[in-house]
Amino acid sequence: MNENISIVGGAGFLGTKLSSILSNANVKHKTFDISFDESSSNFVDVENIDSLEKLKNSSVIINLAAVHRDDIKPISRYDDVNIGGAKNICSCASKYDINTIIFTSSVAIYGFAPKNTGEDGNPNYFNDYGRTKYQAELIYKKWQSENPKDRTLVIIRPTVIFGEGNRGNVYNLLNQIYRKRFVMIGKGDNVKSMAYVDNVASFIKYSLNKNSGTYIYNYIDKPDLDMNSLVKLIRKNLFQKDNVGLRLPRFLGLIVGYFADLISFISRISLPISSIRVKKFLSNSMFSSKISETDFEPPFNLTDGLINTIKYEFIEDNKNNKKFYSEW
């Protein structure tokens, strides 16, 4: 196992889980994050190349740092952090002869992709998050190609990540159903690939000892669920009800989304619903992965991950525990 592993963005949702898994396995590592006090030895800002000097004794850099919400202003923040950060990480790695980088990209690079899109799928991003993640991948690939015999690059493209304590898309769905504010839009036969945080973190750990080369993996927990099955599973575990509840036709859902766009534009207030979020809800986001060709075994199946999250968030008393706000 590689030692002196540096996790950049290590105080976030995925980084915190990864650090816990590495600690439990007695793997030497250190977490760095912009959220730490600037005087701390753990403070790192990927936009500030001087702060990356703290990584100089690393053998592996795992870069989880990113701007990833879909409502960031100004838009230049995506470029500054996601692209500028990649350039700075690569410069640091080159300067200090750090030969392994693991980078968490995203299936957002594929945009509204055909079902079962694999790692060879064409980039077709529809937002700045997907665009800058893809451009960051190109920067890391260039870094690896400059010394291909010695350098190892692992690019992991997770689908939407969920788990205990996260305040992202899956939690929002769970919370809407729990508060009985959820309305199904459309037929509900569209499929959503998802990823449980424990499994993604475990796969990053699994990837630490790759030989030199470039490796790209979509991360998805199988089997995928369509929206009807997902909502039924949630409602069964919350209310012991095996149905989806209220349903709105597709065209009406889109009208509501566009109306919300107009209100948001006029009021300059970001609303929890928008046309792009309705379109994302209605879309298929079903991917395949070359991970199935490896011997990696996720510690949890998707259903167990969802049930664990439901129990943690809505049945057990964990309201005082740390929350992570994101939109992966």
Residues 6 or more apart from 150 whose CB is under 8 A from it? 99, 212
Q: How far apart are CA 282 and CA 1, in angstroms?
A: 42
Q: How far apart are CA 306 and CA 194, in angstroms?
A: 10
Residue with the two structure tokens 């099955």: 229
Q: How far apart are CA 286 and CA 112, in angstroms?
A: 10
Report which residue type is found at 135. Q
Annotate 107-141 with b (16+ C-beta within 10 A) or e (fewer): bbbbbebeeebebebebebbbbbbbbbbbbbebbe
Map residue 245 onto helix, strand or coil: coil
Q: Name which of 1, 213, 220, 203 is nearest 101 in CA terms.
A: 213
Q: How far apart are CA 212 and CA 239, in angstroms?
A: 50
Map residue 43 onto helix, strand or coil: strand
* 129 flagged as catalytic: yes
Q: How far apart are CA 116 and CA 289, in angstroms?
A: 8
Residue of 78, 110, 125, 129 with catalytic role = 129
Torsional sign, CA 323, 47, 87, 123: positive
**Which residues are the active-site residues?**
129
